[in-house]
Structure 1
């Protein structure tokens, strides 16, 4: 188990942690992430932006969701959103030992086989195949550096 990062402050998920999947497809949630969750469940879903799994605290995922009506199903954008955000999600909660049982379909989507990288992302966290996580972090650093350089007008 590798750990990098600081303990969460103000309900934020921060840091990068890599934990192994066991034979039953369980993984230990980092202790600092469990402390932010304070016993509440998670909603796991495929990311719409990356090949990773988003982990949303259940109360945040459910926050300010408007009631739907039959008319909502005539709007293609809303209908697509319901499929992506509700039909393709998994409710999960760490067990008494802090382990999550991972969904096989989500693991396949993210290309995760034997280890999971947990990446803190403020109020949510993401689960990645470890090498893909490292590549994403490095690419993000390079993009931020390029934007900062462009803002300063340096070529």
Structure 2
């Protein structure tokens, strides 16, 4: 698998270290990295983490704006300026900084959620709430797409 997939519940140990799932570490290692790239999500109480593909996504997003534009400068500062490199230890653990933990409200537990090119790190209760809201939106979208498809098919048959 060449994507971050699945959801993993993790505990932080007494020193504040968190294990990174082997499947996620394998993707990071394929990038030739021995660390995670991590930053606070811009619009969620969660952390964005990953490797080279996460950085490429950030680069692509910033490059959409004209050089030296105010929007580009603000976005670059908000993203590049907030990135932390989290060194993976020999047992596949990382230490989340106090700043990262505070942003995501993480204390003793975290949930790592695969998003394909990156993964998010959540405080478990906040993730459950986010997932419930996202699931409701997806169900509504499915119904909307399903009924639109039926209307389109009926129109074509007429």
TM more than 0.5: yes
Taking only aligned residues, the RMSD between alpha carbons, in angstroms, comes to 2.2
For 1:4-15, list aligned pairs within 5 A: 9=1, 11-15=2-6
For the pair 1:108 / 2:98, whether they are aligned, the reply is no
TM-score normalized by structure 2?
0.80
Which residue in 1 is equivalent to 2:49? 55
Residues 1:135 and 2:126 are matched in the alignment: no
Distance in 1 (CA, whole Å) between partners of 2:45 and 2:56 is 25
Structure number, greater radius of gyration: 2
Unaligned runs of 5+ in 1: 1-8
**Higher percent of residues as helix:** 2
Count residues in correspondence.
Answer: 140
Trace 1:116-135 onto structure 2 (pairs within 5 A): 116-135=110-129
Deviation at 1:93, TM superposition (A): 2.6
- The residue that corresponds to 2:72 in the other structure is 78
The 2-side partners of 1:62 and 1:48 are apart by 15
Q: What per-residue deviation string (whole Å, max 9, x for no partner) do you get for residues 81-108 of structure 1?
A: 1211111110113111000011110100
Q: How does 1:16-35 map to 2 (within 5 A)?
A: 16-35=7-26
> Segments of 4+ in structure 1 off by > 6 A?
none
| CA distance 1:119–1:143, change in 2 (3 Å) | same
Aligned-partner Cα distance in 1 for 2:27–2:50:
12
